[in-house]
Copies of this chain bind each other. A is one copy, B any other.
Amino acid sequence: MPVSARGDSKVLVGVDYYPEQWPRARWPIDAKLMADAGVRVVRVGEFAWSEFEPAPGRYAFAWLDDALQLLRQHDISVVLGTPTATPPAWLIQRHPEILPVDPDGVRVGFGGRRHYCPTRAVYRRYAGEIVTSLADHYREHGAVIGWQIDNEFACHRGGCFCEECRTTFQRWLQRRYGSLEHLNETWGTAFWSQTYTAWEQIPLPARTVAVHNPALRLDFQRFVSDAYTEFQDLQIEILRTRCPRHFITTNLMGLFDELDYFKLSRPLDFVAWDNYPGYHGPADPVRTAMAHDLTRSLKHRKFWVMEQQAGPTAWEGGVDRSPPPGLLRLWTWQAVAHGAEAVIYFRWRTATQGAEQFWHGILDHDGRPRRRYEEVARTAAELAGLELPPDAVPETPVAIVLSYDDRWAWKIQPQHAAATFDRRVGDWYRMFRDYGIGVEFVAPGEPLRGYRVAILPSLFMLNDATAHQAEEFTRTGGLLIVGPRTGVKDETSRVRDVPPPGPLSELLGVEVDEYDAIGTDDAATVDLTLPGLPSLTGRSTIWSDVLGPRSADVVAVYRDQYYAGRPAATLQMAGRGAALYVGGFWESGLLDGVVRWALRQQDLDAAVVRRSNAHDVEAVVWRSAAARYLFLLNHGDRSASLGLAGQWAELATQQPQSETVSLQPFAVKLFVAR
């Protein structure tokens, strides 16, 4: 039974550990220090292929056996990483064709990590063998509880452009399309004379003159994603057979978009991700929250943080700022509030050698416990004292539909440089979070039932199934909110021959008559009048849809630009629900109006009612059968106070909380309402 599902709602605290990088004499000291700090689980081995198999077919597990023995003595469980992110030097020497090829045809050399072509058959064979050996060796080991497959799939690079990838892609297309006629038709190869008359003619989207067909680029992205998923599945199959009692996961990368994380997650027991909020610039707690929520949404269940930042990070450009006292604790609590059931700090001790010498762990290079160790230990103790009912989960009345196909299509043809993921998706996410309203991400095709509000945020490439689901959702009482550029394309990347929002036009009662990529140097002024709400005026940037309402009511109108007086948003009642179309990227004042209206319309309980200057405070609500819980997290380095709705008591003390709550810098508070 996987740990993560054992019904124990206690949060696991752990560390990422590399015994192979330290002298054996240090190991017992490490194990003792870990245990003292409350570490209950350790991840090991994910880059240790050359230690496990120093020469082809010669395996060496004794060193790890010894290390695990020490951990076990301190009652620490172990997650084993399969080491396939780093094929060893001897393997590359024997099969240099394993190395991936760049879009400009250069075969990339040994010396970093993730230096393998994901489709290469010979590599899959070697990877299968090392995983098999590991599984056979550790299947009955008392400390081992589960597996992490590979490490951060597709990090640093997406696709490979080698000859084997090309022929594999061609076969993938053959399976997908059956005939060249179908492929030519679907891709529209009549454009620029690209009709293929043999499968072998189809190129990879490598360096070309001008640009590639977006349909080919989209299919290549799908193919790359499938290749990694296939490579993962091959390992899962080996592990499932040999280690039926172990759980299987992999460590994802939050908002990373090279792979379809919904598909990749499917065969896993639960997912994990690597969380570095302070890497490369100041932390954005809302993005981190969104990454947590997306990760949780992949399987709609709790998840692990497999690598949690534990000190200053550093990559090629220099060292990032040090997390001040309290921030490691805050990040840990944030993870827990969003549904992490384990938080594993990366890494135990800072490496003194190798490419990540200044990517700091809990301990510094010298291995001495200092303030970060103390903070982790304190946090672990706090979490050990936390026990919410087993059925308590984040309350998420709002669904945001998100598809990787769509993210790829947008990357291939960004409709505007400023229409980033944060603007398309994050803006909506942020507005609801501001009221402590939880958001769940939903893949196209997943049911929307049970949500009160569903957002289709610039869902550029909307398929008919999603449209259908949106309709059913609305007619049965949901509030549907649709952003600009939704429904422009079908899932083959073809622009629909009806105006946007395409298959949603009837439900929304509106068509886009024309549009203006207004950008961010200029802005359109919009007057918004939602039923029961005072009028609001604000700015709309990046994109202006000029709407032609068919049957919907106009709820917003442009005040300037050549489309002054024409509709900017419409609302249509549909069945027991309502459908709102918002034709631009609106500034927060207008979006706030939409959200306030939506909360009232759908009878949602906002935990937060006034924030004034408390924008750094995050509020996360959980519910169980018996109670509701409220996490307040102050991400700011100043004190903050905000107003709460409802009757809350502090969980620890059971003292009732007054209407206004104050939080110290980086403070965490947990309330309950019954």
Contacts and interface: CB of A to CB of B under 8 A. Distances in A.
Interface of A: 18, 20-21, 47-51, 54-55, 83, 86-90, 92-93, 100, 102, 104-115, 155-157, 187-198, 200-216, 312, 314-322, 324-325, 350-358, 364-368, 370-371, 413-417, 419, 493-499, 513-519, 561-562
A543 B191 CA distance: 48
Contacts of A88: 193-195
Interface of A is mostly: loop
Nearest to A317: B417
Contacts of A316: 211, 413
Contacts of A193: 47-51, 83, 86-88, 113
Contacts of A365: 495-497, 499
11 contacts: A48-B193, A87-B193, A105-B107, A108-B207, A109-B203, A111-B206, A113-B193, A189-B354, A318-B416, A319-B415, A366-B498
A356 B21 CA distance: 53
A30 B83 CA distance: 60
Given A193-B83, A514-B370, A201 B89 contact: yes
A208 B115 contact: yes
Given A54-B195, A370-B513, A370-B514, 8 more contacts: A50-B193, A102-B207, A109-B204, A213-B355, A312-B517, A319-B416, A366-B496, A366-B498
Task: Rank and list the top 4 A-B pairs by shortest CB-CB distance, nearest first.
Answer: A188-B353, A191-B354, A112-B210, A86-B193
Contacts of A208: 108-112, 115
Contact of A413 (B92, B210, B357, B416): B357
Given A54-B195, A355-B211, A414 B562 contact: no
B355 A111 contact: no
B51 A190 contact: yes
Contact of A417 (B51, B198, B318): B318
A268 B93 CA distance: 42
B21 A191 contact: yes
Contacts of A198: 89-90, 93
A325 B513 CA distance: 14
B352 A194 contact: no
A154 to B, nearest CB: 11
B209 A114 contact: yes
Contacts of A561: 324
Contacts of A417: 317-318
Contacts of A196: 89
B514 A364 contact: yes
Contacts of A496: 352, 365-366
Nearest to A198: B93
